[in-house]
Amino acid sequence: MSKIKAFKGLRPKPEIAAKLSVLPYDVVSSEEAAQLAKGNKYSFFHITKPEIDLDKNIDLYADIVYETAKKNFNEFIKKGYFIIENKDCLYLYKQIMNNRAQIGLFACASVDEYEQDLIKKHELTRKDKEDDRARHVYETNCNAGPVFLTYRAKKEIDEVINNFLKTAQPICDFVATDSGVEVRHIFYIISDDNLIKKLIDLFKEVPCLYVADGHHRAASGYRVRAMRRAQNPNHTGNEEYNYFLTALFPHNQLNIMPYNRVVKNLNGLNENSLLEKIKEKFDIKELQIKNYSPNKTKNIGMYLNKKWYNLMPKANTFNVNSPIDTLDVSILQNNLLKPLLGIDDPRTSKRINFIGGIRGPQELEKLVDSGEYEIAFSMYPTSVEELMKIADAGEIMPPKSTWFEPKLRSGLVVHLLDDVSILKK
């Protein structure tokens, strides 16, 4: 059973929604956020990336950063940038990229279910990033961005949503260039109590939810709930801080792109000796093409010295009964990156970087040809089914296994951790 909840959202006035909403805080650097927000007083980056309003050499975890986020959020409210909902609502979010649509439901999810692993994880979190998000949520007293959740598609939920969309009018509808690609963002409010109850009841029949993206945001919801509960002698379990903002998408609508790899050097090997060692674990085929992306699993593209190769793992290189070992990213890590290139821990190594698939194999060629990196690997994307299978088994995926597009914009609706009535006093 999955427990979701309607909530009184804070949403931007329709005429500024396109200017206010932004990409997730963790997919742009401080410099990129500053550039995107330049000259735009409405940009939600003033809240999610508040360092853009401070000295560029500021420590990103300094107290002043979180204080600025809180101040800016309060200023946005005071200046009337947000409409404050009078009743509990749900919201629908439709995104269209490259003529492909996905439709998600914005709702609050239960921290209890996260704690009980009914909201399943597939990634480890880093303490510093957890600390950062928890502090941001605690200081601003809100969930500024949603946790991206998925669930096994349910026909009855699809039907209710599709019927609603036949006559519904969006509260905002705009096109933005995200990650270099045009994405249309369409946002709807569901305020009818009967329809809200119908959707909440249907989700009770969904056995579990899966974190697709936003593990640190989900963990921060858990940690802030513990902090707020400890400070509240009258805690009941019904307070808004017992829930966190989510966007729920059916698994069969999601678009996972590859998460490619680039490595700075060959770990003391030369090109020929590396190729000979690779042949022990992979069948290698040199390709006479540019911009290679594998079109099926168990095929890995490698770019070295202006040449593309296709690497096909030999039969004895992975455990066919392990949902982790059979992932292409695991095969690459266990048979090449670690033993040959010395990337023992891709989470901490400074010699490897990860490139979202939206940027394509041409970005890999550019990085290697520039001399910044010496070798690159183009991956076939991990599937949603693989992600759910690993989460069901209680296993953890290798880092940087999935790249979802389009990204969910932050600022289209905000969840306050107290009753919104406090804003109207």
DSSP assignment of 72-122 equals: HHHHHHHTT-EEEPSS-BEEEEEEEETTEEEEEEEEEEEHHHHHTTSEE--
Asked if 418 and 321 sit in the same domain, the reply is: no
Give the pLDDT of residue 142.
Answer: 97
What secondary structure letter does DSSP report for 269?
-
H or E element in which residue 275 lies: helix 271-278
Which CATH number characterizes residue 360's domain? 3.30.1760
Could you write out the DSSP letters of every residue in 148-180? EEEE---HHHHHHHHHHHHH---SEEEEEEETT
Q: CA torsion angle for 186, 189, 194, 199 (degrees, to 10)?
A: 50
The rounded distance, in Å, linking the Cα atoms of 276 and 231 is 62
Structural domain contains residue 147: yes
The distance from CA 322 to its chain's CA centroid, rounded to whole angstroms, is 25
**Cβ atoms of residues 146 and 249 within 8 Å:** no
Tell me if 301 is assigned to some domain.
yes
pLDDT computed for residue 420 by the predictor: 84
Check whether residue 246 and residue 373 sit in a common domain: no
Residues 263 and 331 both lie in one domain: yes
Specify whether 60 is located in the same domain as 134. Answer: yes
Both 250 and 286 in one domain: the answer is no
> Do residues 172 and 195 both lie within one domain?
yes
Residue 390 lies in a domain: no
pLDDT tens per residue, range 118-168: 999 998 888 899 999 999 999 999 999 999 999 999 999 999 999 999 999
Counting the structural domains of the chain, the total is 2
Query: Could you tell me if 160 and 193 lie in one domain?
Result: yes
Q: pLDDT tens for residues 258-294?
A: 999 999 999 999 999 999 999 999 999 999 999 999 9
The predicted pLDDT at position 298 comes to 96
Say which DSSP state 334 is in.
Answer: I
Instruction: Specify the pLDDT at position 178.
Output: 76
Whether 400 is covered by a domain: the verdict is no
In 3D space, the residue among 103, 78, 70, 377 whose CA is nearest the CA of residue 251 turns out to be 103
In a shared domain, residues 245 and 302: no
Residue range of the domain that includes 103 = 4-255+405-424
Q: Output the CA angle 220-222-223, nearest 5 degrees.
A: 65
**Whether residues 343 and 213 fall in one domain:** no
- Residue 425 has a pLDDT of 54
17 in a structural domain:
yes
Instruction: Report pLDDT for 343.
Output: 96
All residue ranges of the chain with pLDDT < 50 are: none
Coil vs helix vs strand at 107: strand
235 and 267 together in one domain: no
Structural tokens at position 350:
């400074």
pLDDT given at position 180:
79
pLDDT of residue 424: 64
221 CB burial (10 A radius; 0-12, 13-18, 19+): buried
Q: What pLDDT sits at residue 363?
A: 96
Query: Residue 270: inside a domain, yes or no?
Result: yes
| 324 three-state secondary structure | coil
The answer to whether residue 135 is domain-embedded is: yes
Say whether 425 sits in a helix, a strand or coil: coil
Q: Are residues 171 and 56 in the same domain?
A: yes
Same domain, yes or no: 239 and 266: no
d(CA 350, CA 335): 19
CA-nearest of 238, 214, 215 to 228 is 238
Residue count (the chain): 425
Task: For residue 63, report the phi and psi dihedrals to the nearest 5 degrees.
Answer: -55, -40
Domain presence at residue 391: no
Contact in structure between 292 and 308 (CB atoms under 8 Å): yes
Contacts of 238 (CB under 8 A, 6+ apart): none
